[in-house]
Amino acid sequence: MRDQKHRSPLGSGNAAQRFALAGLALGEARKKNREQKWPVVLEGKRDRAALETLGFVGPLEILNRGWDLDRFITYLYENYGTRNPDGGPSICLLMDWDRTGTRLQKTLTERLESLDVKVCHILYNQLVKALKPETRVVESLKSFDVELSPFIEQEDPLEFNS
């Protein structure tokens, strides 16, 4: 109990560096999501809500929508193709980095790549590396909004003309 009082809310001592890495990766993905309509594929509605809290406004596709995996993969292939306009990955996969999410990430990647769909794992890999001490689920990114936002904004500054 005593140790919990003195622990940083951000986990280990290098939390600031790790949150910077996570925030910059999220900022880069948010920019592509908004500007290029680059889809981010998530597990569920709470994951989408978390990314929307962080300013994502482009396509956020939800895996858990009552469809079987074949139908969902066909939908992604038909709607987003195999490459984005600059020749890079057409889809960003961002499953949770728990046991189930890791399996889904691997299965979706294998199935999509068998159709020649290029998949991006950069955001997933950065978040796994940076945030595993604090969380293993996308939906909890919402609770780190204050810590992540400055770094997201550094990579993808949003201008509000309201």
Ranges of each domain in the chain = 33-147
Q: What is the pLDDT along the chain (162 residues), one digit of tens a residue?
A: 333 333 344 445 688 899 999 999 999 999 999 999 999 999 999 999 999 999 999 999 999 999 999 999 999 999 999 998 888 899 999 999 999 999 999 999 999 999 999 999 999 999 999 998 899 999 999 999 999 999 999 999 987 543
3-state secondary structure of 89: strand
Q: Please state which of the four CATH numbers 3.40.1360.10, 1.10.3720.10, 2.60.210.10, 3.40.50.300 is assigned to the domain occupying 33-147.
A: 3.40.1360.10
Q: What is the pTM of this model?
A: 0.87
Beta strands in 44-160 (DSSP E): 60-62, 91-93, 119-120
Residue 90 and residue 82 in contact, taking contact as beta carbons nearer than 8 Å: yes
